[in-house]
Structure 1
Amino acid sequence: MLEGINVALGVTGSIAAVKTVELAHELRRQGADVRGVMTGSAQGIIHPWAVEFATDNDIVTEITGSVEHVDLCGYDGWADVLLIAPATANTVGKIAGAVDDTPVTTCATTALGADTPVVIAPAMHEPMYDHPGVLEAIDTVADWGVEFVDPRIEEGKAKIASEEAIVCDVARAAGKGVLEDTHIVITSGATGESLDPVRVLTNRSSGKMGRAVAKACYARGADVTLVHGFVGPQPVTRDAALPDGELPYATVRPVESAAEMLEATREACSDADTLVSVAAISDYTVEERDEKIRSGQERSLELEPTPKLIDELRAAHPELPIVGFKAETSGDEAAMIEQARETLSRAGLAFVVANDASVMGADRTKALFVHEEDAARYEGTKAGLGGEIADSIAAIVGGAQSKYLD
């Protein structure tokens, strides 16, 4: 998500600075190069050597005649984005007032003057976060274009946001915004058709691919709605089902059945610019029993077909660009392309991503971008495929370039 991005990581004197090492590691795992900048108070909480180890770069602990702030965040500076995480109330107030008495605030003033993107992740006690002066400072700095990663309000504290939330907002700030001012709706996960109050008919989808597409679209500036179903049977070491509410990169609409997914997607697409149908939606449903089906008896299920989501949405929105997914089990590439083109033609899709069902639940995938006349191969991580899909969507809605589109 952050491949080729240079991140200047400002660390201030919040106890949340103890999370800096893992945050720096995560930024680097996502592809970023990281250089640390620390206030004196931060050095009293975490040793500069720890940040140096985590970033594998020298640390700025004071501004000298080498004008480190200009080298990092000035015109043509090294950093593509300045991330201040954690940021104390003191630091946010100083940035709003252009007070440059620490290496971090000096870098912030320089970055703001040079139009270098700035992302701030506050961390402090909740009463401090609710102080009118702190809120006014946040509003002031946000009006200048600074991105704030909202803290988690727990146990009377405004705790620093999750690493995932911070990484997503850094990627969005450092990106080119090719999907800015667009609304992308993505379906993800599996559906579950209730047999009785206990049992469901579902599939092995993990939802990883849909979430990867959502993250990639968010990083490129889109507003994302994620209509997310079940997370199918997976080992306990894999992701659990998503909770209701918000993800750092999307508004989540949790659903269970194919009918619920269709209805939620219809509502979300009322103002959508693109629909990406990634979810493994059940082709069949059953009549639910009111009570648990007793074991020890032979049973048969009468399966009833469910409406095709992409066909329903195409009928409702004839001009909406729709990206489809097609999973097959044959392992025959020619057959996968043929089936994908049938879906492409039937529903008037922008393109179809075809893959083998064996990748369900995995982190890596093999896929084909299928168009009417040609097909392009992809092999790599699902995160990488999500980025390629987002770039292809940008080519459709905004005229950007994509190697997977004609």
Structure 2
Amino acid sequence: MLEGVNVALGITGSIAAVKTVELAHELRRQGAEVRGVMTDSARGIVHPWAVEFATDDDVVTEITGGVEHVDLCGYDGWADVLLIAPATANTVGKIAGAVDDTPVTTCATTALGADTPVVIAPAMHEPMYDHPGVLEAIETVESWGVDFVDPRIEEGKAKIASEEAIVCAVARAAGDRPLAGEHVVVTSGATAEEVDPVRVLTNRSSGRMGRAVAKACYARGADVTLVHGVVGPRPVSREPALSGGDLPYADVREVETADDLLAATLEACEDADTLVSAAAIGDYTVETSPEKLRSGQDRTLDLEPTPKVIDEVRDRFPDLPIVGFKTETADDDGAMIEAARKTLDRVSLAFVVANDASVMGADRTRALLVHEGDAARYEGTKTGLGSEIAASVAAMLGDQASDG
């Protein structure tokens, strides 16, 4: 998600500084190069050697004649983005007042002057976060284009945001944001049809693919709504979330049945610029028994087809660009492309992602991106495929804007 991105990681004197070693590791796992910058107060909480180990680079603990702040964050500086995590109330206030008395605040002033993107993840006690002066400082700094990653309010503390939230914010800040101003609706996960109060008909989808697309679209600047099919005890809100079950990169609407997913998708598409229909929607439903069906007996279930979501969306929104997914069990590229093209033509889709059923629930995938005139093969992680799909969506919407 952060391949090729250089992150200057500013660490200040919040107790949340103990989490920055793992944060630095996560930034690097996502592809970033990281260099640490620490205040004296931060050095009292986490040793610079730990940050050096986590970043595999020297740590800036003072500004010397080497003008480290300019080297990192100035014009043509090393950093693509300055991330301050955690940021104390003291640091946020100083940045708002252009006070430069620590290596971190000096880097911040330099980055703001050089138009280097800045991301700030505050962490402090809740009463400090609610102080009128702190809130005013945040509003001031936000008005300069700085992205704040909202803290998690728990136990009377404004705790530092999750690593996932911070990584998403850094990716969004460091990128070109070709989807800025666009509303992208993504469906993900599996739907389920109730057989009785205990049993359901469902499938093996984990929702990883849809979430990867949603995250990649967010990183490119989109406002994302994720309509997520939930089965049993596996809600999407198990993932690190900010509040109310929402993910850092999407407004989440959790559903269970195909009808629920259709209703939520139609509602979300009222003001959408595109729909990516990645959910594994059940093809059949059954009449629900109000009581548990007894085991040990022969049983026949009468299956009835569920509505085709992309067909219903196309009928309601004839001009909405829709990206479809087509899952096949035949391990044959030609057959997959043929099936994808039938769906492409039938529903007038922008393009179709065709994949083999064997990848359901897995971390890696093999897929074909089937457009009207060509098809491109992809093999790799679902995160990588999500990025490819988001890039295609951005190109598609960009072409439409140019034509319009």
- Tell me if both proteins adopt one fold, taking TM over 0.5 as the criterion: yes
The equivalent residue for 1:114 is 114
The equivalent residue for 1:143 is 143
Structure 1, unmatched stretches of 5+, are 234-239, 401-406
The equivalent residue for 1:221 is 221
Question: Matched residue of 1:128: which SS?
Answer: helix
Deviations, residues 247-297 of structure 1 (Å, cap 9, x unaligned)? 000000000000000000000000000000000001111111111111121
Q: Whole-Å Cα distance in 2 between the matches of residues 57 and 364 of structure 1?
A: 31
Q: Whole-Å Cα distance in 2 between the matches of residues 361 and 282 of structure 1?
A: 15
The equivalent residue for 1:292 is 292
Asked if the contact 1:207–1:231 (Cα under 8 Å) also holds between the matched residues in 2, the reply is no
Question: Matched residue of 1:22: which SS?
Answer: helix
Deviations, residues 29-84 of structure 1 (Å, cap 9, x unaligned)? 00000000000000000000000000001100000000000000001100000000
Aligned residues, how many? 394
CA distance change for structure 1 residues 231 and 50 in 2, over 3 Å: closer, same or farther? farther
CA distance change for structure 1 residues 65 and 108 in 2, over 3 Å: closer, same or farther? same
Matched to 2:49, the amino acid is: W
User: Which of 227, 237, 242 lines up with 2:236 in the alignment?
Assistant: 242
Q: Whole-Å Cα distance in 1 between the matches of residues 274 and 373 of structure 2?
A: 22
Deviation for aligned residue 1:230 = 2.2
Asked if the contact 2:235–2:254 (Cα under 8 Å) also holds between the matched residues in 1, the reply is no
Structure 2, unmatched stretches of 5+, are 238-243
The equivalent residue for 1:336 is 336
Deviation for aligned residue 1:136 = 0.6
The equivalent residue for 1:4 is 4
Matched to 1:100, the amino acid is: D
Map 1:20-99; keep pairs closer than 5 Å.
20-99=20-99
Asked if the contact 2:119–2:148 (Cα under 8 Å) also holds between the matched residues in 1, the reply is yes
Q: Whole-Å Cα distance in 1 between the matches of residues 326 and 232 of structure 2?
A: 18
The equivalent residue for 2:132 is 132
Q: Whole-Å Cα distance in 1 between the matches of residues 121 and 381 of structure 2?
A: 28
Quick check: 108-117 or 241-250, which moved more? 241-250
The equivalent residue for 1:282 is 282
Deviation for aligned residue 1:398 = 1.4
Matched to 2:372, the amino acid is: E
Asked if the contact 1:86–1:123 (Cα under 8 Å) also holds between the matched residues in 2, the reply is yes
Asked if the contact 1:93–1:134 (Cα under 8 Å) also holds between the matched residues in 2, the reply is yes
Please report the TM-score for the alignment, with normalisation by the length of structure 1. 0.96
Asked if the contact 2:6–2:78 (Cα under 8 Å) also holds between the matched residues in 1, the reply is yes
Q: Whole-Å Cα distance in 2 between the matches of residues 342 and 226 of structure 1?
A: 26
Asked if the contact 2:192–2:231 (Cα under 8 Å) also holds between the matched residues in 1, the reply is no
Please report the TM-score for the alignment, with normalisation by the length of structure 2. 0.96
The equivalent residue for 1:403 is none
Q: Whole-Å Cα distance in 1 between the matches of residues 374 and 111 of structure 2?
A: 45
Structure 1's consecutive aligned runs of 4 or more residues displaced over 4 angstroms after TM superposition are none
The answer as to 2:369 corresponding to 1:375 is no
Q: Whole-Å Cα distance in 2 between the matches of residues 300 and 198 of structure 1?
A: 17
Q: Whole-Å Cα distance in 2 between the matches of residues 382 and 89 of structure 1?
A: 38
The equivalent residue for 1:404 is none
CA distance change for structure 1 residues 231 and 35 in 2, over 3 Å: closer, same or farther? farther
Deviation for aligned residue 1:241 = 2.4
Q: Whole-Å Cα distance in 1 between the matches of residues 380 and 399 of structure 2?
A: 25
Asked if the contact 2:231–2:256 (Cα under 8 Å) also holds between the matched residues in 1, the reply is no
Question: Matched residue of 1:246: which SS?
Answer: coil
Asked if the contact 1:189–1:232 (Cα under 8 Å) also holds between the matched residues in 2, the reply is no
